[in-house]
Every structure is written in structure tokens, then in C-alpha cells.
Amino acid sequence: MRKKVVGFITVMLAATTIISACSNSGGNNGNSNTGGDPTADSSTGSGSGKKVKLTAIMTKHPLTKPLKDMEWLQQVEEKAGVEIEWQEITADWDQKKGTMLASGDVPDLFIGPNVITDADMAQFQGLFQDLSGMLDQAPNVVAMFDAKPETKKIAEQPDGKIYGLPKYQRFWPSTATRQYINQKWLDNLGLSMPTTWDELYDVLVAFKEQDANGNGDPNDEIPMDWPGGIGGYFNAAYLLSGTGMTLTDGSPQGYFVEDGVVKNYLVDERYKSLVVFLNKLYKAGLINPEVFTHDYTKYQSVARGEGDTAKVGFTMGWVASDRFGEQLAPQYTSMSPLKAAADSTVSWSYDYNSLNYGVNQIVMSAKSKNKDAVMRFINELYAPDMGMQVLFGSLGPNIKDNGDGSYSVLPPADSKMDPGTWKWTSTMADNGAFYIPDSLQLTLGKDMQEVLEQSKPIDAITIDVDHDVFPSFLKYSSADNSTMGLNNTNVMNLANTNFAKWVTKGGIEGEWDSYVKESEKAGLKQNLEIMQKYYDEYKQQ
């Protein structure tokens, strides 16, 4: 009999597990569908006593504290009469997103930097709510559109529908990248600030050979460093500005505009001369030998030197205190762009749009059962006095009300923390959806003030935004998006490989022409045509 019992038990176990799984829907099943309280009257205003339950996803920075601990957020939910169950995602959003959208299993609301891209919206028709008809419920958003028409342009699809709302944070500088040189080393060696590429070369040689940091070891200086590869913020490509080229948003894939024509520097003669220059530096040992292999951690650590002894001479970064640490920051000066040759005109990268505006920061699901409640929440979120709190933290612990209509951002409560980290741990920060009106009087924290201060050499340059800048938030069709994406993968593969090879080993002269042909074949030509088409259409609006 026992033999049968064992077998029987096995079968029953299997059966029961499967059956209980099917019937367990009541138990642990979270609010994977739009959790709405069907009895709540969603058309009444806020504070009607019964709160509407909503579900939302927010893609936040990993070190940000739990959303339920953010005071301003509780207030916003309170005012809108909603109670939100947040799912806070700090990593792998791209992997989760695909499955979630394809299966239609979405919450009421999404918040995050480009949390749902235009490509997603094009591909998943009908999944997201068109907000253009509901703006009467969100006067604060309308106010933003009126005060800053760019925000409306960013939000509108070509057919006038609005699926995602942007943010506007107003205080950010016109570029993410500032160029720094160690002033103390210049002074130690009696050198003057370089203004051209050739002068830079001489200064870097001096850094290397003359024990610039004065610690007795002539070999521990790294004259020049950058995160690696080609393209993106803080990259050596910014030196191209010395040829008069204006980059946009750091031109991570090489695209820029000149006199209304869309170009790519990866196949431009000026890039060739930059590579030749960098190769010259590399051969002379003036560039960090690990430039193409170090990861970001190492890159930052090296710049922090040892105690009072700095290691890096010339590099780029967001702000000195972040790039070099508080202790060494005073040694560095922010520089004006370097001219390629003595008679060049200079420019820089225009990052204003991508730094101050954000696209699709908040998106509503079309399947939500509480759209009015969601709109109320959105409206409260975009209130003029809320924006600064979303960005910097709540009134009280993070921002002080000066009593006269102006506000100040407070230093971190934890004195060991820098203001940037403090901002990111306290609140949604740049990942949130908000509007900071130009009329707001807010004294910024120490870090932002440093950024603005150190941006002065760059601000002095005039950039022709109308003809030399590529619009940051163009909306492409789904097919064009796919094509460009595939092409860019190929082109960047080619670019990175060759850039690294030419800088470290040289040889660009003989290979340049075939490289240009290869790049165009790999899809660069096709992308330029597509982008030019969209640019021209945009210009005609």
C-alpha cells in the first residue's frame, strides 16, 4: 500500500500546487491591474474624504529614499485626494518595460526621465492616454505651456496629441561640460593659461616632465584624462569646439548642425585633425594610458588624487567639487574653449535644452479607471511652488522659505554629504515631473552656484541657436526610429574602434578615406538624410 501512497502523494502535490496557484488570485495578487476604487466619486474635487487609489511606477535613482518618505509628495497626494501605490524602479527599466507594455499590464501612471519614449508611444498605440483633451483639468500645466511654449512643442506629437508631459527646471547652465585645468600646477611651473591646442600641448608636456604637483615623483602626473571612447558629455570631442563646431547635447553620436545643415563629426575633416592631435598627445605620454579601459569609478577616483596632491592636469567635468572632490577642487580653474589654431573661432556644446527640459516625464495609461484623479494629481504636481520641491526636496528639511516670497536651498543635513548627493537621496530630483517658473526666486545650493560660476567662461561664447543647434526633442516615426537606431549601433561600433586605435597607435592618414566610406555604408548617410528631413520640417513650423 505504501508504494501507492507515495505515488499518490506526488500527484496530489502537483495537482494542488497548480490548482491553488490558479485560485490564489485573491491572495497575494498585487495591483497589477489598474487598481481603482470603484465607489470613489472621481469627478469631485480634492479633499472629498475618500481617497482614490492609484498605481504608479517611478524610475528613480538607486540612492533616492522611498517615495513614501517624501513630505512634498504626501502633500501633493493629499491635495489631489489620491493615495498612490508606488512601484519604485531603480534599475533595468528597459528590460521590464518591454514586457510590461507588450502585455498591456500597466499602472495608472508613469514618472521618470523619458520613462515612456516616443518610440514606445508609436509602437503601443492605444496604451497611453491622450492628454490634449484633458488640459482643462490641469490649469498649472496650461500655465507652463503658456509661459514656456517650448514645453508644448516638446509635448505635442506631430498630430497634436499629447501623451507625455515635459519638465522645465530653468536653473541649469547651457552646457553639462566644463573644461578644467589645474591652476596650482600652472602656477608651480610658471605657465600661463593655454588658449590653443598647441599651447595646451606645451603645457601638458611641462606637466608631465616637471613634476607639476611638486611631490618629488615626476611620473605620477596624468596630464589629460576623459571617460573614454568618443562622444558624450565630458569627452575629448569637446575640443572640436575649437574649430568653430557647435555640438548639441554633447553630440554622443557625432551629429551636429552647421548653418542649417545636419552633419556628423565622425566623418568630418576637423575630427581627423583632432584625432591627429590626440595621437600626438598619446605618443608623448600625455594622456592617461587607461583612458579606453577604465570604468567610471576608476576615472573619478583617480582625479581625487591623494590628499592635497592632485593627479590629473586637464580634464572635463560637471563641476569641480564633483570631478575632483572637495579637497582638490580649489586647485582647478574652469577654462574657456581652446582654439584649434590661433585664428580659429570657438564654440562649445549647447546642452541647454537637454539639461533644462525633459520629455515624457509623466505619462498616463489609457486603461486607467481614474483618469480624472490622475489629472488632479498631475495638476498638483505641476503647481508653481511644487517644482522646486520635486527637484531639491521638501520645504523644511531641504528648502527654506525666506518669508518674503523668496526661497533658499538649504545645505545638506548630513554635513559629510555633498549637496548633489543630498538632493538625489532626498527627492525625485531631475527624474521627476515638474515646472519651475522663471518668476520663482530661489537661491540655489552651493553646488549649483559653483556650476553657474564655473560656467562663466563658456557663457561668454555666443552660439547661434537657430542655425547651429539640433533640436533636442524631435519626434520620429516608428520606422525611422528603428532604422536610425540600427544604423547608429553600427556606426558607433566602427567609430569607437577606430578612434581608440588611431589615438593609441596612429595610422589615421592612410585609413581615413576608407573609414569614411565604411561609415556611410554602415548607415551614416541614411541617418543624415532622415535627420535633415525632420530638421527642415521642424524649422518650417
Among 77, 108, 120, 268, binds other proteins (CB under 8 A): 120
Q: Name the minimum Å distance from CB 73 to other proteins.
A: 16
Whose Cβ is closer to other proteins: residue 235's or residue 394's? 235
Alpha-carbon distance 438 to 147, whole Å? Answer: 9
264 pairs with which residues across the strands?
Answer: 255
Among 153, 270, 280, 304, binds other proteins (CB under 8 A): 304
Whose Cβ is closer to other proteins: residue 194's or residue 305's? 305
Among 47, 50, 69, 105, binds other proteins (CB under 8 A): 105
Among 75, 123, 137, 215, binds other proteins (CB under 8 A): 123
| Residue 313 binds other proteins, judged by CB under 8 A | no
| Residue 22 binds other proteins, judged by CB under 8 A | yes
Among 166, 228, 242, 445, binds other proteins (CB under 8 A): 228
Whose Cβ is closer to other proteins: residue 124's or residue 535's? 124
Whose Cβ is closer to other proteins: residue 15's or residue 341's? 15
Among 36, 81, 113, 337, binds other proteins (CB under 8 A): 113
Q: Name the minimum Å distance from CB 420 to other proteins.
A: 3
Whose Cβ is closer to other proteins: residue 9's or residue 342's? 9
Helix (H) and strand (E) counts for the chain? Answer: 21, 16
Alpha helices (H) along 393-505: 419-426, 446-454, 456-459, 465-468, 478-505
Whose Cβ is closer to other proteins: residue 95's or residue 192's? 95
| Residue 522 binds other proteins, judged by CB under 8 A | yes
Q: Name the minimum Å distance from CB 331 to other proteins.
A: 17
Place of cell 571612447: 229
Q: What is the DSSP string of 95-163?
A: HHHHHHHHTT---SEEESTTSS-HHHHHHSTTSB---GGGGGG-HHHHHHHHH-HHHHHHHB-TTS-B-
Whose Cβ is closer to other proteins: residue 16's or residue 441's? 16
Q: Which of residues 44-103 bind other proteins (CB under 8 A)?
A: 61-63, 87-88, 90-92, 94-96, 98-99, 101-103
Coil, strand, or helix at residue 168?
Answer: strand
Whose Cβ is closer to other proteins: residue 379's or residue 472's? 472
Q: Name the minimum Å distance from CB 423 to other proteins.
A: 8
Coil, strand, or helix at residue 426?
Answer: helix
For 296-344, give the secondary structure using H, E and C.
HHHHHHHHCCECCECCEEEEEECCHHHHHHHHHHHHEEECCCCECCCCC
Q: Name the minimum Å distance from CB 400 to other proteins.
A: 22
247 pairs with which residues across the strands?
Answer: 256, 349
CA-closest candidate to residue 307, choices 287, 286, 331, 328: 328
Whose Cβ is closer to other proteins: residue 132's or residue 483's? 483
x/- site string to other proteins, residues 420 to 449, per CB under 8 A?
xx-xxx---xxx------------------
| Residue 523 binds other proteins, judged by CB under 8 A | yes
Alpha-carbon distance 436 to 194, whole Å? Answer: 39
Residue 118 C-alpha cell reads as 516616443
Q: Which of residues 376-405 bind other proteins (CB under 8 A)?
A: none
| Residue 19 binds other proteins, judged by CB under 8 A | no
**Residue 297 CA, distance from chain mean position:** 18
Q: Name the minimum Å distance from CB 180 to other proteins.
A: 13
Whose Cβ is closer to other proteins: residue 82's or residue 247's? 247
What is the number of other CB atoms lying within 10 angstroms of the CB of residue 263?
18
Q: How many residues does the chain have?
A: 541
**Residues binding other proteins: number (CB under 8 A):** 112
59 pairs with which residues across the strands?
Answer: 89
Alpha-carbon distance 2 to 243, whole Å? Answer: 88
Among 40, 58, 206, 230, binds other proteins (CB under 8 A): 230
- The region of 15-23, 151-159, 198-206, 337-345 touching other proteins under the rule CB under 8 A is 15-23
Triad 438, 442, 443: Cα angle to 5°: 135
Q: Which of residues 153-182 bind other proteins (CB under 8 A)?
A: 172, 176-177
Are the C-beta atoms of 422 and 446 separated by less than 8 Å?
no
The edge-to-edge listing of strands for the beta sheet with 82-89 is: 82-89, 52-59, 109-111, 357-364, 164-168
| Residue 27 binds other proteins, judged by CB under 8 A | yes
Q: Name the minimum Å distance from CB 246 to other proteins.
A: 15
Alpha-carbon distance 262 to 259, whole Å? Answer: 8
What is the number of other CB atoms lying within 10 angstroms of the CB of residue 209?
15
| Residue 273 binds other proteins, judged by CB under 8 A | no
Whose Cβ is closer to other proteins: residue 96's or residue 161's? 96
Q: Which of residues 344-363 bind other proteins (CB under 8 A)?
A: 351, 354-355, 358
Whose Cβ is closer to other proteins: residue 369's or residue 423's? 423
Q: Name the minimum Å distance from CB 461 to other proteins.
A: 19
Whose Cβ is closer to other proteins: residue 367's or residue 372's? 367
Contacts of 536 (CB under 8 A, 6+ apart): none
| Residue 478 binds other proteins, judged by CB under 8 A | yes
CA distances from 283 to 218, 351, 530 (A): 18, 32, 39
Q: Which of residues 502-521 bind other proteins (CB under 8 A)?
A: 504, 521
CA-closest candidate to residue 221, choices 275, 281, 285: 285
CA-closest candidate to residue 34, choices 370, 362, 274: 370
| Residue 249 binds other proteins, judged by CB under 8 A | yes
Whose Cβ is closer to other proteins: residue 189's or residue 366's? 366
| Residue 188 binds other proteins, judged by CB under 8 A | no
